[in-house]
Amino acid sequence: MKQLAALLVLCGSAALAFADDRIAIKVRVGETVATDVGYAMGFFCDDQSIVRGEMRNKDADTNVFSVTGLAVGTTLCRAGTVTVENRPTYLFEITVSKPASSRPPAAPRR
């Protein structure tokens, strides 16, 4: 029983460590944000109704992971799903907010 308890504590600690490795990205609906991800290849997003992801080459040594906000919400995306040749992997927590208002601010009331 003690071994099981120790295993659960270790697993919980590992989960917390992974949670701290998330990189926060904030984007508005309709806007696109790009992030350099070195030579990471491939990506996967948990909820593709919230963001549209794309992986592109920036130059010979760098790929860029870009996300476009589609709907308000939060999702996780991993850039670097191809695990051959010890390629890097990044976990992003992407929060999409409402689009910026296109109307000018209202004049103050007197």
In this prediction, residue 3 carries a pLDDT of 52
> How does pLDDT run across 15-70, given as a tens digit for each residue?
444 446 899 999 999 999 999 999 899 999 999 999 999 999 999 889 999 999 99
Q: Is residue 31 part of a domain?
A: yes
**Residue 77 neighbours by CB distance under 10 Å:** 22
Q: Is pLDDT of 13 > 50?
A: no
CATH at 55: 2.60.40.2020
Burial of 94 (0-12, 13-18, 19+ CB in 10 A): buried
Q: Is residue 55 part of a domain?
A: yes
Q: Is residue 63 part of a domain?
A: yes
**Residue 80 neighbours by CB distance under 10 Å:** 21
Q: Is residue 89 part of a domain?
A: yes
Enclosing domain of residue 63: 22-97
Q: What is the mean pLDDT of residues 2-19?
A: 45
Residue 59: alpha-carbon gap to chain centroid: 22
Q: 60: Cβ–Cβ under 8 A, 6 or more apart, which residues?
A: none
Q: Is residue 69 part of a domain?
A: yes
Q: Is residue 91 part of a domain?
A: yes
Domain count, the chain: 1
